[in-house]
């Protein structure tokens, strides 16, 4: 698409109900940069404009021809950048920050494979007051959270392909190589119900964690 225009930026923020400071935080930019751009006082670099577009698109909006901006009922985003999981966790924090009893659900995870940067970002998730519950392979005792926040998946059913649910979003992870983020409240609600059913029938963790690293 063409570079985002000030009017598209204003419209996209309005559809997402984001303030200028919030968009700036998501883009790692100064809030004055967004303010000046939308007021047409100055124009950021092309790289910055592309980043603004990407952040707004990841928020759920779509940009069309003739400066059109829309918020479709369902949006599918491919996450292929090397650091996509860190970006996703940032989105978790921003998406859930104003919700009551915010929660991040992970099915099919494995704390043993998380690099240091991921662990630090998960700590940020915890600091934001977001509860995390994870379902991992039966017998896996390398748990970085509280043991009560885990359930075991029977070994014969376990695959290390994560399904991540938060807010109105579902992320399907292909072993860390790439992922698909689906933005749709109905889909997210259905996946959340499925997770709760599996959680209730899962195997409680009845042993202490062997991990020397905690969130």
pLDDT at 129 over 80: yes
Residues shown for the chain: 215
CB-based contacts of 66, cutoff 8 Å, min separation 6: none
- CA–CA separation, 158 vs 175, rounded Å? 13
Evaluate whether 121 touches 169 at the Cβ level (below 8 Å).
no
User: What angle, 0 to 180 degrees and rounded to 10, lies between the N-to-C axes of helices 6-16 and 46-59?
Assistant: 30
Q: What's this model's pTM, rounded to 2 decimal places? A: 0.82
Superfamily of structural domain 75-204: Endonuclease Chain A (3.30.870.10)
Q: Do domains 6-70 and 75-204 have the same CATH topology?
A: no
Q: What is the pLDDT of residues 155-166, one digit of tens each?
A: 999 988 899 999
- CA–CA separation, 82 vs 78, rounded Å? 12
Q: What is the pLDDT of residues 49-73, one digit of tens each?
A: 999 998 898 888 999 888 899 988 8
Q: What topology is assigned to 6-70 in CATH? A: 434 Repressor (Amino-terminal Domain) (1.10.260)
Q: What is the pLDDT of residues 183-215, one digit of tens each?
A: 999 999 999 999 999 999 999 998 999 999 988
Strand partners, 133: 105
* Of the candidate ranges 27-31, 171-175, 179-183, the one whose mean pLDDT is the lowest: 171-175
User: Domain residues of the chain, as ranges?
Assistant: 6-70, 75-204
Question: Within its chain, how far is the Cα of 152 from the centroid?
Answer: 23
pLDDT at 89 over 70: yes
pLDDT score at 194 = 97
pLDDT at 126 over 90: yes
pLDDT at 1 over 80: no
């Amino acid at each position: 698409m063409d570079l985002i225009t000030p009017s598209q930026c204003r419209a996209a923020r309005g559809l997402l109900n984001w303030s200028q400071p919030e968009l700036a935080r998501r883009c790692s930019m100064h809030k004055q940069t967004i303010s000046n751009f939308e007021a047409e006082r100055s124009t950021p670099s092309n790289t910055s404009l592309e980043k603004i577009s990407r952040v707004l698109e990841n928020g759920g909006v779509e940009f069309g021809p003739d400066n059109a901006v829309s918020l479709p009922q369902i949006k599918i985003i491919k996450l292929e950048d090397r650091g996509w999981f860190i970006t996703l966790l940032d989105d978790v924090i921003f998406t859930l920050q104003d919700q009551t009893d915010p929660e991040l659900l992970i099915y099919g995870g494995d704390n043993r494979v998380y690099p240091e940067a991921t662990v630090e970002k998960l700590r940020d998730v915890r600091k934001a007051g977001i509860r995390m519950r994870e379902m991992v392979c039966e017998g896996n005792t390398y748990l970085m959270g509280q043991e009560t926040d885990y359930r075991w998946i029977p070994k014969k059913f376990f695959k290390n392909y994560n399904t991540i649910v938060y807010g109105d979003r579902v992320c399907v992870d292909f072993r860390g190589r790439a992922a698909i983020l689906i933005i749709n409240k109905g889909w997210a609600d259905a996946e959340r119900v499925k997770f709760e059913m599996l959680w209730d029938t899962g195997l409680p963790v009845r042993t202490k964690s062997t991990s020397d690293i905690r969130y």
